[in-house]
Structure formats: structure tokens, C-alpha cells
Structure 1
């Protein structure tokens, strides 16, 4: 289980990475969140590294337009 500070960091990173996509893009947001969470559970807690993981995930996220 992640501590409160790490959880807050993950939320902030997710919000920043996904700021350009609609809240209704649940599939894309879920994909990005899962990749960020995977990185954090492996021990990655650097905000910049987590943002990069999120950006990479967003570029491969499922969308309604594909």
C-alpha cells in the first residue's frame, strides 16, 4: 500500500499528464493511471520520471477515435 504523500503525488502527476484530454476519456485515463501506479510500485517516486511514464502511456492509450 502506498503512503499518503505518494498517493497525492500520483494524483498530481495523473492530473498534469491528462490535462489535455477529456474527463470522459476513461479508458485513456485508466491506462495512464495504471502505468503510473505500476512504476510507483516498482519504487519510482521521482515526479519527472512518473510524468514521463504517464506521457508514454498516454501516447499508447486506447481512444474512441482509433
Structure 2
């Protein structure tokens, strides 16, 4: 469990990384969230590093075809 400050950072980073991703693209959003949480769990809690991890995850994320 993360402290409130870290949780706020995670939320802001996720929102920034996924700002151009549709809310309905749950596969990509879940992939990004998972990678950001994994990085934070491993001690990477700087916003810059988490954004980098999030952007890398977004690049590798599965896409939803419609």
C-alpha cells in the first residue's frame, strides 16, 4: 500500500500518460497502470521516472481494434 502522497503522484502520472488514450481502451490503460504500479512497488516513485515507464508501456500496450 502506498502513502497518500505517492498515490497522488501515481494518479497524476497515469492521467498524464493516458490523456490521449480513450477511456474505452481498457487493455492499453490497464497495461500502463500495471507497469506504473510495478515500477512504484520496486521503488521508482519519482514522477519523471514513472512517466518514462508509463510512456514505454503505452508504446508496447495492446491495442483495441474496432
TM-score range, shorter chain: over 0.9
Which 5+ residue runs of structure 1 have no aligned equivalent? none
Find the residue that maps to 2:30 and give its secondary structure: helix
Aligned-pair Cα RMSD in Å: 0.6
In structure 1, the partner of 2:46 is 46
Per the normalisation by structure 1, the TM-score is 0.95
Runs of 4+ aligned structure 1 residues displaced above 6 Å come to none
In structure 1, the partner of 2:64 is 64
* Residue 64 of structure 1: how far off its partner (Å): 1.4
Equivalences, count? 65
- For residues 33 and 13 of structure 2, the distance between their equivalents in structure 1, rounded to whole angstroms, comes to 9
